Amino acid sequence: MTAARIEPDAPAGPHRPPVRPREAVSGLLRRPMASYYLLLASSGLLLGLGLIMVLSASSIDSYATSGSAFTIFIKQLTFAVLGIPAFWLALRLPMRVWPMLGWPLVVLAVILLLLLPFLGKEVNDAKLWLAIGPIQIQPVEVAKLALVLWGSAVLVRKRPLLTEWRHLAVPLLVVSVVLFGLVGIEDFGGMVLLLFILIALLWTAGVRFRVFATLGAIAVVGLVPLIAGNPERISRLTSFTDPFAHQDQAGYQVVRGFYSLGTGGWFGLGLGQSREKWGGLPEAHNDFIFAIIGEELGVLGCLVVVVLFGALTYAGIRVATRVDDPFRRLVAAAGTVWLAGQALVNMGGVVGLLPITGVPLPLISAGGSSLVLTMFVVGMLASFARHEPEAVLALHARGRPWWMRWAGIPLPELPGRSRQALRSGRAGRPLGRPTHRTRTGGRR
């Protein structure tokens, strides 16, 4: 009698091929609310990492000046808490209000910049902060937001006339030159970021290439006197070419930043174990916090920061390409270039690829007005992400959850096309994609 051969059990269901990471990520990005959640995730992680690194980088300096290792951190945490209402305000502002904010912000920015020489607080031979009682703000941050909103509204209004120079020059270039001049007197890095914003606006609006060539020539001519008339800027440029030859003077901060980055290696010395923050590296919790990240968290920590900023930039550009309103498209593109360009200028200066300009690392460096305005801009981008056509359908299909009603965040307005798609049951499916049909016209 032979023993019966036991066959292995067959799988209960059909064989499922393993999910590849690339396909999984692609599937997540195809979801209607992908831009919104990617903005929240990347900016939230950057803010959390920034608070941790400000505490670590500022503890020694804070204890030496105030007797407590938490003074600067508590101040930064306070501004982060104040940034939450700014984010919430930007998230719930009606779309019709955004174009109206341009001119008031331009007027406010010009007034603040004109007051800066008289009421400004001088730090490192430059007046960048305006002290009004207990409140200190950086007028350049208001100027950036003003140029984004006002410039977008002007370009949308003059869209059919952008081929004519006089319509492009008045008032866009005139007001831009006024802002550049007032900012560039004290803050060269801020003026460079304003130039980035203007270029992003013109590029997104479809201005011809010869306009960029002309603006580039004008910018070079205008930058020369602003650099030549300031000895500190000249010393920064000369030390940029060979910082070790000027390590006792203008190149000191750059060289100490190199030492900080080089000490960390791949995995870093450990959180809180930086050596350069013990008085060796100036502005360790502010402009050069990226060097402390490299020292304590290593190359991997720096790569995490770069990836998070890359995700934030991708989400912002995705919003700019998917919204159907020209004004929102321009604002999203310019706001994204603002944040990405500022991060690039800061990190490029720390690693020696760009001259030092003194701009903070968004969401990470210590700084009150910069953090609050940055969170406002992120809230603005998140609001525009909720107004993508597919996102509008998905939000109306699911309704307002309790937390959205509690926070007072309204549903985005439903356009006529989206309303028809919602009624036909296409909510959450990309607009404009035809349904799969056979050649005979029947549905598969």
The mean pLDDT value for 323-335 works out to 94
- The answer to whether 252 touches 258, Cβ cutoff 8 Å, is no
Question: Quick one: tokens of 403?
Answer: 């937390």
User: Percentage of the chain with pLDDT > 70?
Assistant: 86
Whether pLDDT at 126 is above 90: no
Element (H, E) at 356: none
Residue whose C-alpha is closest to residue 318's, from 378, 381, 229: 381
- What confidence tier does 393 reach under pLDDT thresholds 50, 70, 90? confident
Residue 192 in any domain: the answer is yes
Both tokens of 343, joined, read 């991060």
pLDDT of residue 442: 40
Q: Give SS3 for 389.
A: helix
- Read off the tokens for 74: 């508590």
Structural element, H or E, at residue 139: helix 139-157
- Is residue 419 domain-resident? no
Per-residue pLDDT at 14: 56
Within-domain flag for 286 = yes
Q: What is the DSSP string of 18-30?
A: PPPHHHHHHHHHT
What does the pLDDT look like over 407-417, one tens digit per residue?
888 888 876 55
Tokens of 410: 């309204």
Q: For the ranges 368-377, 382-391, 430-439, which has the lowest average pLDDT? A: 430-439
What is the dihedral sign for C-alpha 307, 311, 312, 318?
positive
* Confidence band, pLDDT 50/70/90 cuts, at residue 189: confident
Give every CB contact of residue 271 below 8 A, 6+ residues apart in sequence.
Answer: 52, 56, 296, 297
Does residue 377 contact residue 87 with C-beta atoms inside 8 Å? no
- What's the average model confidence in pLDDT over 247-258? 84
Residue 304 burial by Cβ neighbours in a 10 Å radius (0-12, 13-18, 19+): middle
Q: How many CB atoms lie within 10 A of CB 375?
A: 25
Domain membership of residue 368 (yes or no) is yes
Report the pLDDT value the prediction gives residue 416, as an integer from 0 to 100: 57
Mean per-residue pLDDT for 254-268? Answer: 89
Q: Could you give the count of Cα atoms lying within 13 Å of 345 in the half-sphere of its Cβ?
A: 22
In contact, 118 and 408? CB cutoff 8 Å? no
Q: Which of 252-256, 343-347, 352-356 has the highest mean pLDDT?
A: 343-347
Residue 327 has pLDDT above 90, yes or no: yes
What pLDDT does residue 184 have?
77
Q: Phi/psi zone of residue 133: left (φ > 0), alpha (ψ -120 to 50 degrees), beta?
A: left
Q: Is residue 302 part of a domain?
A: yes
Q: pLDDT-based confidence at 377, cuts 50/70/90? A: very high
Would you say residue 347 has pLDDT above 60? yes
What's the number of domains the chain is made of? 1
User: What tens digit of pLDDT does each residue of 82-97 get?
Assistant: 999 999 999 999 989 9
Asked whether 162 and 207 are in contact (CB, 8 A), the reply is yes
C-alpha distance from residue 303 to each of 43, 72, 123, 338, 347 (Å)? 16, 26, 31, 21, 11
CA distance 240 to 368: 28
Query: What is d(CA 41, CA 311) in angstroms, rounded to the nearest whole number?
Result: 9
Residue with tokens 């941050």: 141
**Between 187 and 339, where is the model more confident?**
339
Share of the chain above pLDDT 90, in %: 38
DSSP 443: B
- The two beta strands, 126-132 and 135-137, are antiparallel
Residue 155 contacts residue 162 (beta carbons within 8 Å): yes
In a domain, 26, yes or no: no
> Residues 323, 383: contact at Cβ < 8 Å?
no
pLDDT averaged over the chain? Answer: 82
Which pLDDT score, from 0 to 100, does residue 427 have?
Answer: 47
Look at residue 416 and tell me if it is in a domain: no
Structure tokens given for 143: 């100027």
Looking at residue 214, its pLDDT comes to: 77
Contact partners, residue 285, CB within 8 Å, separation at least 6: 53, 54, 57, 58, 61, 72, 277, 292, 365, 366
Q: Decide: helix, strand or coil at residue 426.
A: coil
How many angstroms separate the Cα of 79 from the Cα of each of 137, 305, 336, 368?
12, 21, 22, 5
Counts for the chain of helices (H) and strands (E), in that order: 17, 3
Q: Is there a domain that residue 401 lies in?
A: no
pLDDT band at 420 (very low <50, low <70, confident <90, very high): low
The predicted structure's pLDDT at residue 17: 64
Q: How far apart are CA 256 and CA 124, in angstroms?
A: 18
Quick check: 425 pLDDT over 80? Answer: no
208, amino acid identity: R
pLDDT at 441 over 50: no
- The tokens for 255 are 């060289």
- Residue 327's domain comprises 33-387
Residue 16's Cβ-side half-sphere holds a number of Cα atoms within 13 Å equal to: 5
- Which of the four pLDDT bands, split at 50, 70 and 90, describes residue 434? very low
Are the C-beta atoms of 277 and 60 separated by less than 8 Å? yes
DSSP letter (8 states) at residue 246: G
Cα separation, 365 vs 271, in Å, equals 16
Mean pLDDT of 102-120: 87
